[in-house]
Amino acid sequence: MAEFTMELSDEQKEVRDWLHGFAADVIRPAAAEWDEREETPWPVIQEAAKVGIYSLDFYAQQYFDPTGLGIPMAMEELFWGDAGIALSIVGTGLAAVGVLANGTEEQIGTWIPQMYGDANDVKVAAFCSSEPDAGSDVASMRTRAVYDEAKDEWVLSGTKTWATNGGIANVHVVVAVVDPDLGSKGHASFIVPPNTPGLSQGQKFKKHGIRASHTAEVVLDNVRVPGSCLLGGKEKLDARLARAREKAKKGGERVKNAAMATFEASRPAVGAMAVGTARAAYEVALEYAQTREQFGRPIIDNQGVAFQLADMRTSIDAARLLVWRASWMAINGKPFTAAEGSMSKLFASETAKKVTAQAVQILGGNGYTREYPVERMHRDSAIYTIFEGTSEIQRLVIARTLAGMPIR
């Protein structure tokens, strides 16, 4: 087990600086254009693939970093560049985490490479969990998966929403209900291979922020997938469902479902994204405050501005500490006994919203225009308190964990 440390190794620093350079030289100059276009920035994703950032190898190296800091470090640097473009680059990772968390070694080896493609033929993947009537309330999920034993196929029907890369993905990972009587415990995850009949893109959403990231509904109309596309396999699913039914008879105990396993693994990473956006806005505000003069002196000489910057930097560093702690705990198998993963996501998300708002305020009228990036950063930051569990849900998870109550 790696010891927890705040000091990055020389190799980690080299990777961090490389990512920062890509974010500064490639992502940030393209940010305003793709935000305005509200389209997937395929040329930027391709550039990321060419240098090795958008690839299974890079993702795996960071994911399996024994310190746990590889993924949060990468997320912070890329999202420092721009949240919308960065989400287009890393959005496939959520689907990959879904396979890593629930799939067999064969499924991992088969499907994750197809999620990324290569530098000459870039692909993306989508993780599909939320539904029009089932966002935070996963127990209300209606998308069904019915097993056709004669053909060894699963038949998926329903509508998913808020899916990053939904409909344009090469591979979709879909969470569906296999046993309605078990609520959220009766869910399973499925791979929907490329060009599978019955899967189509529904509404594409026009969003307040992260506009360079494609978000859409995914419609599943009697989609048939081979039995081998059930993540983890049917034997494992049957055993898990049997345990859930038995525990339900005894009064019910907490059993993780497929979607929650994915979100637990990814929440600290979302926190790191928020840290990256907050840090970017803080740096713009700091530079502006040092160079902008009013009444014959830089505005940072005013306590009202200086104290805001002090609070901004303090909150950013505190958020990073929570994210790194949760990431270290996760990679080293330490249980989140106080919902440390949710803590990191909650605090970092709220920090990003507050810090970007303060940055706009420090820049004044300039901060409210699109001539300065803090306007975009402020819009982008709103998503962190919403996706992969709202701040309210994070507080609920933390409170129920502290009270020893089950998390549904």
Question: 361: burial class by Cβ within 10 Å (0-12, 13-18, 19+)?
Answer: middle
User: Strand 125-128 to strand 171-177: parallel, antiparallel, or no bridges (unpaired)?
Assistant: parallel
Q: Using CA atoms, how far apart are residues 237 and 258, in angstroms rounded to an integer?
A: 10
Q: Using CA atoms, how far apart are residues 75 and 273, in angstroms rounded to an integer?
A: 5
Cβ atoms of residues 161 and 115 within 8 Å: no
**Residue 250 three-state SS:** coil
Cβ atoms of residues 186 and 255 within 8 Å: no
> What tokens were used for 205?
């959403």
Largest Cα separation within the chain, whole Å, is: 82
> What tokens were used for 275?
């840290």
Tell which residue, 235, 238, 225, 242, has the closest CA to residue 152.
Answer: 225
User: How many DSSP H helices and E strands does the chain contain?
Assistant: 14, 11
Q: Is 388 a catalytic residue?
A: yes
Cβ atoms of residues 78 and 90 within 8 Å: yes
Cβ atoms of residues 325 and 344 within 8 Å: yes
> What tokens were used for 186?
């009766």
**Residue 196 three-state SS:** coil
- List residues with catalytic annotation: 388
